[in-house]
């Protein structure tokens, strides 16, 4: 029996990190939404993701939760180093120094010196999700419906009809919405229901991720503490991640090609990676296949996809969730602008034009990193307690540190990927600068992330951007009245930020128009004669 409920405005399916980010950002823009989540309210997240990118931290700073997130997980003084070793407990091969969160702003470390208020942070999804959930629960505009599973949906030109199941009672309900956003992860029912296939490369490797608890493993460690330890030996390759710096660990075991998931013994895997017999409890396991898959479409009609529902790739450089978080904020200001009456529904079409190419590019970068990691020929004497063994370890360690330098300094993936080919970004004759995993050149070319600046008084440009559009003006004497009037006519909220930047690069234009998602929509040296058309265009209003 299915009861029909009232029509909701926006329904988000999935309260993972991406769905929660979308809900929080919508609420901050005054828009109500309902979030459907099939898990129970207090169900723990899987600790699989352990890197929150600088870009995600910038977004969380705008939500007012960045400091709280930095305090989760590892103790304040726990080094976030990346280590290479033959076993988790012994034979260090090499080390990339990454500071603890209390030293994150010291300017030291392999990934130091990025132009941001919020450098990357190492914290497990296990600890991140509760902060996002608590934030979402504290906002009146968000209605979180836990233990509610989406079964199916269909849409017409005016609405989407969803059939849901109450997990506790099994009863089915029907819900109507103006828009539905599928943030329901890799096995997305939403994506399935709108008939969108994934495209890319499948079966790039198989991993068993084991979440474990042990109060005795720390005593057996012969190496200085680290956040992540890559284990290289002839028997069991894997990665260990310290989650709380005490007793919680995540152990990713690479599964040999001739062994099935079920045929792989997790206890043997953990002992192989750690190199010791010790007491531990397995709290959860997750089998996953390394893939590079991107949805063919990021939406259809009134239904859109974000996060793992739209793309699924190997966690190299730590960008699955982080890309999803940026999907969410690219979508949320559009939905809010339409809801608040100052943008056209056509604005939504450019969501796919902006985010899908990023999904393609970042997923390919992650795949290349993974292919670089293909299990090397392990020299037989690597673990020997001999001069030859020591020489081999030094050689292999140096090669690994050099190979992975960019992966653990991914400034380009954080800040450098431009939006190109979007009809709501007004390009000029300059191409965005080239970017690479660890290559970033700040730029005001439309489509780029607005370059960060710290002013002489210590304040941050990012903290001074308005919640919606911001026009950065270098010279206060430049008359922008017709610009602000055009924005008013459209109803587009616009703040003017006067900053005496002089010749400070990369701000080489008098005016820079920044969108609510901190991307540059337009720049110029004067107000264009057809500024009304410009404003309409960035709001998705086309003649
Ligand atoms: C080993 C590993 C390491 C990783 N490391 C990183 C990293 O360092 N950095 C990074 O950025 N990413 C990393 N990732 C990827 C990251 O974990 C995912 O990208 C992230 O969880 C995606 O978030 P999401 O909100 O899109 O989806 P999910 O986290 O999968 O959340 C989806 C939510 O939807 C709910 N749901 C699903 N179906 C329904 C339904 N029918 N009805 C109602 N609710 C539903 C689920 O219960 C879940 O809560 C890693 C992944 C793996 C496997």
State residue 1's pLDDT score: 43
Q: Does residue 269 contact residue 236 with C-beta atoms inside 8 Å? A: yes
| CATH number of the domain bearing residue 427 | 3.40.30.120
pLDDT tens digits, one per residue of 293-336:
999 999 999 999 999 999 998 777 678 999 999 999 999 999 99
Claim to verify: residue 97 and residue 147 sit in the same structural domain? no
The interface predicted TM-score (ipTM) is 0.97
Distances (CA, A) of 56 to 21, 363, 431: 10, 17, 25
| CATH number of the domain bearing residue 258 | 3.30.9.10
Q: Which of 185, 187, 327, 363 to mutate to test the pocket of ligand 1 (most atoms within 8 A of CB)?
A: 185
Q: Tell the residue nearest (CA) to atom 41 of ligand 1.
A: 150
Burial 104-141 (b: 16+ CB within 10 A, else e): beeeebbbbebebbbbbbbbbbbbbbebbbebbeebee
Claim to verify: residue 40 and residue 113 sit in the same structural domain? no
Q: Is 455 a residue whose pLDDT tops 90?
A: no
Q: Which ligand 1 atom sits closest to the C-alpha of 50?
A: 8
- Is 371 part of any domain? no
State residue 375's pLDDT score: 54
State residue 378's pLDDT score: 84
Which of 64, 71, 60 is CA-nearest to residue 20? 60
| pLDDT top residue among 365 and 354 | 354
> Which residues, in sequence order, are CB contacts of 463 under 8 Å at separation 6+?
117
Q: Which run of H or E residues covers position 84?
A: strand 82-87
Ligand 1 mean position, distance from CA 16 (Å): 6
Q: Is 395 a residue whose pLDDT tops 50?
A: yes
Task: Please count the structural domains in the chain.
Answer: 3
Residue 11 forms beta bridges with which residues?
A: 34, 180
Which of 242, 179, 188, 221 is CA-nearest to residue 50? 242
Interval 409-425 mean pLDDT: 95
What distance in Å separates the CA atoms of residue 139 and residue 131, rounded to the nearest whole number?
A: 13
Q: Tell the residue nearest (CA) to atom 2 of ligand 1.
A: 48
Q: Is 3 a residue whose pLDDT tops 60?
A: no
Claim to verify: residue 503 and residue 425 sit in the same structural domain? yes
Could you tell me the residue range of the domain that residue 328 belongs to?
A: 2-73+123-201+292-366
Claim to verify: residue 99 and residue 196 sit in the same structural domain? no
Q: Which of 54, 59, 308 to mutate to test the pocket of ligand 1 (most atoms within 8 A of CB)?
A: 308
pLDDT tens digits, one per residue of 230-278:
999 988 989 999 999 999 999 999 898 899 999 999 999 999 999 999 9
Claim to verify: residue 48 and residue 81 sit in the same structural domain? no
Claim to verify: residue 49 and residue 129 sit in the same structural domain? yes
Cβ count within 10 A of residue 322: 26
Q: Does residue 255 contact residue 206 with C-beta atoms inside 8 Å? A: yes
| CATH number of the domain bearing residue 184 | 3.50.50.60
Ligand 1 mean position, distance from CA 261 (Å): 20
Q: Which of 12, 48, 145, 314 to mutate to test the pocket of ligand 1 (most atoms within 8 A of CB)?
A: 48
Q: Tell the residue nearest (CA) to atom 37 of ligand 1.
A: 184
Ligand 1 mean position, distance from CA 17 (Å): 7
Claim to verify: residue 139 and residue 45 sit in the same structural domain? yes
> Where among 335, 366, 397 does a domain terminate?
366
Q: Tell the residue nearest (CA) to atom 39 of ligand 1.
A: 184
> Which residues, in sequence order, are CB contacts of 36 under 8 Å at separation 6+?
11, 12, 13, 14, 15, 145, 148, 149, 150, 162, 164
- Is 543 part of any domain? no
Task: Give, as one character, the DSSP assignment of residue 182.
Answer: E
Q: Is 373 a residue whose pLDDT tops 80?
A: no
Ligand 1 mean position, distance from CA 71 (Å): 22
Interval 83-102 mean pLDDT: 96
pLDDT tens digits, one per residue of 146-182:
999 999 999 999 999 999 999 999 999 999 999 999 9
Claim to verify: residue 337 and residue 297 sit in the same structural domain? yes
Q: Which of 206, 321, 327, 358 to mutate to test the pocket of ligand 1 (most atoms within 8 A of CB)?
A: 321
Claim to verify: residue 210 and residue 180 sit in the same structural domain? no
pLDDT tens digits, one per residue of 115-125:
999 999 999 99
Claim to verify: residue 104 and residue 252 sit in the same structural domain? yes
Lowest mean pLDDT among 69-73, 388-392, 500-504: 500-504
- Is 346 part of any domain? yes
How high is the mean pLDDT of the chain? 94
Claim to verify: residue 472 and residue 438 sit in the same structural domain? yes
Share of the chain above pLDDT 70, in %: 98
Q: Tell the residue nearest (CA) to atom 1 of ligand 1.
A: 48
Please give all residues whose beta carbon lies within 6 A of any atom in ligand 1, as ranges.
13-19, 36-39, 48-51, 125, 149-150, 183-185, 189, 209, 252, 288, 307-308, 315, 318-322, 324
Lowest mean pLDDT among 6-10, 268-272, 466-470: 6-10
- Is 59 part of any domain? yes
Claim to verify: residue 515 and residue 398 sit in the same structural domain? no
């Amino acid at each position: 029996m299915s009861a029909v409920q009232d029509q909701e405005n926006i329904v988000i399916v999935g309260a993972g990190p991406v769905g929660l980010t979308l809900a929080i950002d919508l609420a901050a823009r005054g828009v109500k939404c309902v979030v459907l989540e099939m898990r129970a309210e207090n169900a723990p997240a899987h600790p699989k993701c352990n890197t929150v990118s600088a870009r995600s931290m910038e977004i969380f700073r705008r939500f007012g939760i960045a400091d709280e997130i930095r305090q989760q997980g590892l103790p304040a003084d726990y080094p976030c180093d990346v280590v290479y070793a033959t076993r988790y407990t012994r034979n260090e091969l090499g080390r990339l120094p990454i500071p603890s969160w209390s030293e994150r702003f010291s300017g030291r470390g392999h990934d130091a010196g990025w132009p941001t208020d919020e450098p990357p942070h190492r914290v497990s999804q296990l600890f991140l999700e509760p902060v996002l959930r608590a934030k979402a629960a504290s906002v009146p505009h968000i209605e979180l419906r836990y233990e509610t599973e989406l079964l199916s949906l269909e849409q017409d030109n005016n609405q989407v009809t969803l059939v849901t199941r109450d997990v506790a009672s099994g009863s089915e309900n029907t819900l109507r919405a103006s828009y539905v956003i599928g943030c329901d992860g890799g096995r997305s029912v939403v994506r399935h229901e709108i008939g969108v296939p994934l495209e890319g490369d499948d079966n790039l490797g198989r991993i068993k991720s084991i979440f474990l608890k042990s109060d005795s493993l720390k005593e057996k460690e012969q190496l200085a503490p680290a956040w992540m330890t890559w284990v290289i030996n002839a028997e069991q390759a894997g990665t260990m991640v310290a989650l709380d710096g005490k007793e919680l660990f995540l152990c990713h075991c690479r599964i040999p090609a001739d062994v099935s998931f079920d045929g792989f013994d997790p206890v043997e895997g953990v002992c192989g990676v750690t190199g010791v017999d010790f007491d531990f409890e397995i709290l959860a396991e997750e089998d996953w296949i390394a893939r590079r898959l991107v949805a063919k479409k990021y939406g259809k009609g009134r239904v859109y996809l974000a996060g793992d529902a739209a793309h699924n790739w190997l966690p190299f450089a730590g960008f699955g969730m982080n890309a999803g978080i940026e999907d969410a904020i690219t979508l949320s200001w559009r939905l809010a602008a339409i809801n608040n009456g100052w943008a056209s529904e056509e604005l939504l079409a450019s969501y796919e034009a902006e985010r899908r190419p990023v999904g393609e590019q970042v997923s390919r970068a992650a795949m290349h990193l993974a292919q670089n990691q293909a299990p090397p020929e392990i020299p037989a004497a690597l673990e020997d307690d001999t001069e030859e063994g020591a020489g081999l370890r030094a050689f292999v360690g140096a090669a690994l540190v050099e190979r992975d330098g960019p992966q653990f300094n991914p400034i380009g993936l954080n800040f450098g990927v431009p939006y190109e080919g979007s009809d709501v970004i007004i390009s000029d004759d300059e191409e965005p600068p080239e970017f690479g995993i660890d290559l970033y050149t700040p730029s005001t070319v439309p489509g780029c992330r607005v370059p960060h600046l710290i002013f002489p008084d210590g304040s941050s440009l990012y903290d001074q951007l308005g919640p919606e559009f911001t026009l950065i003006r270098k010279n206060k004497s430049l008359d922008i009245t017709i610009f602000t009037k055009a924005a008013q006519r459209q109803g587009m909220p616009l703040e003017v930020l006067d900053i005496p930047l002089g010749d400070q690069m990369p701000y080489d234009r008098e005016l820079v128009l920044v969108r609510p998602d901190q991307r540059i929509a337009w720049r110029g040296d004067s107000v264009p004669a057809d500024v009304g058309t410009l404003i309409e265009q960035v709001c998705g209003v086309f003649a």
